[in-house]
A and B are shown apart, each in its own frame.
Chain A
Amino acid sequence: MDLTGLFAQVLNGLQYGLLLFLISSGLTLVFGVMGVINLAHGSLFMVGAYAAWAIARQTGALWLALPAAVLGGLLIGALLERGLFRRFYQRDHLDQVLLTFALILLFEEARSFLAGNDFHSVPVPAVLDFSVPVAGDFSYSAYRLAVLALCVAVAALMFLGIERTRIGSAVRAAAEKPEMVDLLGLDARRIHTLVFAVGTALAMLAGALAAPLHSVYPNMGDGFLIVSFVVVVVGGVGSIAGAFWGALLIGLVDTLGKAYAPAVAGLAVYVLMAAVLLVRPHGLFARRT
């Protein structure tokens, strides 16, 4: 096994894991705070990716997709929360599953109506379309490095926002004990809208970043959604740190598995999940209850 190849795969795994973190952090926060299961989270990722494809095709400037995904995500998330999800916090899981399954179908129909059913590749932006020499004769895609750096920055911002700001402490309180928010005299409904909007924006941002790497295609959200579920199960529900380390672990296991043991790679992350469930049924980073 050559070392430069291994190094490249580890970087790929970290970069994939960080993308998964952007998706699964929204999933885990929305469940942790509001207790709602959002199967349509993968569709929001897909919307971000298709938005990036459309923007790149129309304007040729892919970077525009990043602010568009974030702002659009905040808006779409707030609208979905106010219009639909708010009514479902007290309903049982079955209703939440069906609501969000219906949203998946509707998002897919909208995608098919607006963008067709074809596979589209999205070119890497020209300024980042080169390889960075890392060590010796080993070089690595500049775009992937940029994605890595951006994801790390977003993750750091999230930690700071949640651990160090007043709003963040309110979100933590809401995830820990929903009644606490009312006792503190905060408006729980605004916190819910905020959490949902931020989660949606992160998923769409992840989609926009992933578009040049994974291309855009119908039902692309499905695979990412399910792997994000595995991340949340492994990391522990409601825990941002769990989502972070879980995502890196799953990203590395999946990428290295595909590179070095392709025959069983599809199953590797599920075997890992089964092992975690055996040892720590509430996830590796679950708070003790």
Chain B
Amino acid sequence: MLAVASRAGHVWLALAALGVALLPLWASNYHLELASTALVSAMFALSLHLLVGAAGMVSLGHAAFFGIGAYAVHLLPAGMSVLLTLPAAALLAAAAALPVGALSLRTRGFFFLMTTLAFGQMLFFVFHDTPLGGGKDGVFVSRPALEAFGLVWEVPRRNRPTVLLLLNLGVLVAMYAGLAALLRTLFGRALLGIRANEGRMRALGYDTFRIKLAAFVVAGALAGVSGHMWAMAQAFVSPELLGWHRSAEALLMVLLGGLGALHGPILGAFAFIGLGEASNLVTERQKLVEGLVILAVVLALPKGLAGLGLRRRPARPAAPSPAGTPVAAAEL
């Protein structure tokens, strides 16, 4: 399961990324901001996919790490370089994910789901009820500076959506490439093996708890990165960012895109955001549309939107692999 796209699939994904990068040539600032939201949602769903798709761990508390990454922008001194705030947000989220993961992973299945949900709500209350996060109504934050090696780039307000769009696109592409590489490592293979049969992996001598915990922390750090990018785009953070409804929506994006492919959540996020925007034209009752769409997806489309010809076909036994690597291993 969880195949990385084939060579042809990567061409399509690259073309799609190019299409997004060229949006500023013709799209309005409103649509650029919408595309940025979709990119950030795609990052978040992608980070969750490392848990759900690769390791088979369904977490309902993942938004807590997204929110912590976003609040990192508020907690760090204003005017810091994004080159510092981004890793700081990832580290902060990872630091929260470590104890939560260590406790939650003592359980599995249904218990894991409830435990992650409860710990996620606990972190929600930390920002909702204590003065740490600036109150339950949320707080405006100043955007991290675009500064590298002492050079500050002041972006004029009207160009900001374009710059943020390209920045988010870059982060998403890097995240996707990083995860694709990670899945090819021994660690990634072990993770996929745990999803297939954890008992066998343990019998082979793998410390499955530590592998799952490492995946949980990496996924948390990546969620922190996406939260940071969210705060940078919106310049506003609120406790709702940590709430479990956001986790459930990310799960929907993952399922909508299809569980079998690494790029699934990206499709799912764009479909979800596009759908929300389209439903706005028809009715103000967004939740009604969202609920009906989810019902339709789980009842009629259990495999999601993925496929679309981007995944590697299961290898035929005789077919020699082009790059010398065994083709079957890429499918796993």
Please list the residues of chain A having a beta carbon within 8 angstroms of any beta carbon in chain B. Answer: 31, 35, 37, 39, 87-88, 91-95, 97-99, 101-106, 108-109, 112-113, 226, 229-230, 232-233, 237, 263, 266-267, 270, 273-274, 277-278, 281-282
Assembled-state Cα–Cα distance A226/B255 (Å): 23
B108 to chain A minimum Cβ distance, whole angstroms, is 9
Interface residues of B in 217-260 (CB under 8 A from A): 244-245, 248, 251-252, 254-255, 259
Is there a chain A Cβ closer than 8 Å to B12's Cβ?
no
Check B297 against A98 for contact (C-beta < 8 Å): yes
Check A267 against B122 for contact (C-beta < 8 Å): yes
Assembled-state Cα–Cα distance A37/B130 (Å): 31
Check B121 against A270 for contact (C-beta < 8 Å): yes
Check B118 against A99 for contact (C-beta < 8 Å): no
Check A226 against B288 for contact (C-beta < 8 Å): no
Assembled-state Cα–Cα distance A97/B61 (Å): 13
Query: Which residues on B sit within 8 Å (CB–CB) of A270?
Result: 118-119, 121-122, 125
Check B248 against A277 for contact (C-beta < 8 Å): no
Contact flags (1/0) for B85-123 with A, using CB distance below 8 Å? 000000000000000000110110111011101110110
Query: Which residues on B sit within 8 Å (CB–CB) of A233?
Result: 107, 111, 114-115, 118
Check A94 against B290 for contact (C-beta < 8 Å): no
Grouping DSSP codes into helix (H, G, I), strand (E, B) and loop, the B interface class, with mixed when no group exceeds half, is: helix
Query: Which residues on A sit within 8 Å (CB–CB) of B199?
Result: none
Check B121 against A277 for contact (C-beta < 8 Å): no
What are 17 A-to-B residue pairs whose CB atoms are below 8 Å?
Answer: A31-B110, A37-B114, A94-B259, A97-B58, A97-B60, A99-B294, A101-B248, A102-B292, A102-B294, A105-B294, A109-B285, A233-B115, A233-B118, A237-B110, A266-B125, A270-B121, A270-B122
Assembled-state Cα–Cα distance A267/B125 (Å): 7
Query: Which residues on A sit within 8 Å (CB–CB) of B128?
Result: 266
Residue of B nearest to A234 (CB): B118
Check A98 against B114 for contact (C-beta < 8 Å): no
Query: Which residues on B sit within 8 Å (CB–CB) of A112?
Result: 285
Is there a chain A Cβ closer than 8 Å to B295's Cβ?
yes
Contact flags (1/0) for B308-319 with A, using CB distance below 8 Å? 000000000000
Add 12 more A-B contacts to A102-B294, A282-B111 (CB < 8 A): A35-B110, A94-B58, A97-B251, A101-B294, A102-B290, A105-B291, A106-B295, A230-B114, A270-B118, A270-B125, A274-B103, A274-B119
A235 to chain B minimum Cβ distance, whole angstroms, is 12
Is there a chain A Cβ closer than 8 Å to B129's Cβ?
yes
Query: Which residues on B sit within 8 Å (CB–CB) of A263?
Result: 130
Is there a chain A Cβ closer than 8 Å to B298's Cβ?
yes
Check B107 against A229 for contact (C-beta < 8 Å): no
Query: Which residues on B sit within 8 Å (CB–CB) of A105?
Result: 287-288, 290-291, 294
Contact flags (1/0) for B276-311 with A, using CB distance below 8 Å? 000000000101101110110111001000000000
Check B255 against A94 for contact (C-beta < 8 Å): yes
Is there a chain A Cβ closer than 8 Å to B52's Cβ?
yes
Query: Which residues on A sit within 8 Å (CB–CB) of B254?
Result: 94
Assembled-state Cα–Cα distance A282/B154 (Å): 55
Assembled-state Cα–Cα distance A94/B57 (Å): 9
* With A98-B252, A98-B255: A281-B106 Cβ-Cβ less than 8 Å: yes
Max chain B Cβ within 10 angstroms of own Cβ: one of A91, A93, A102, A233: A102
* With A98-B252, A270-B118: A278-B110 Cβ-Cβ less than 8 Å: no
